[in-house]
Amino acid sequence: MTDAVAHDCELDASGLNCPLPLLKAKMELNKLPSGAILKVIATDAGSQRDFRTFAKLAGHTLLREEDEAGVYRYWLKKA
């Protein structure tokens, strides 16, 4: 486990099922200024599809994603 990308805020959504990881990430992003980077940790496999789609639709940038033994990490840069 590495912090591949520097981030401004971290959200641990481990143990939460769809759609909670994405909803919590959206709420956290709303608090951050444009250009800030949010790191999200999730254990829901469906979060991969959710975060990719959300980033595209909302205009955010998915800088990186990792999958390590069922733990998913995402770095989102707020639009």
Residues tagged active-site: 18
Distances (CA, A) of 10 to 6, 40: 10, 6
Enclosing H/E stretch for 31: helix 20-31
Distance between CA atoms of 37 and 63, rounded to whole angstroms?
9
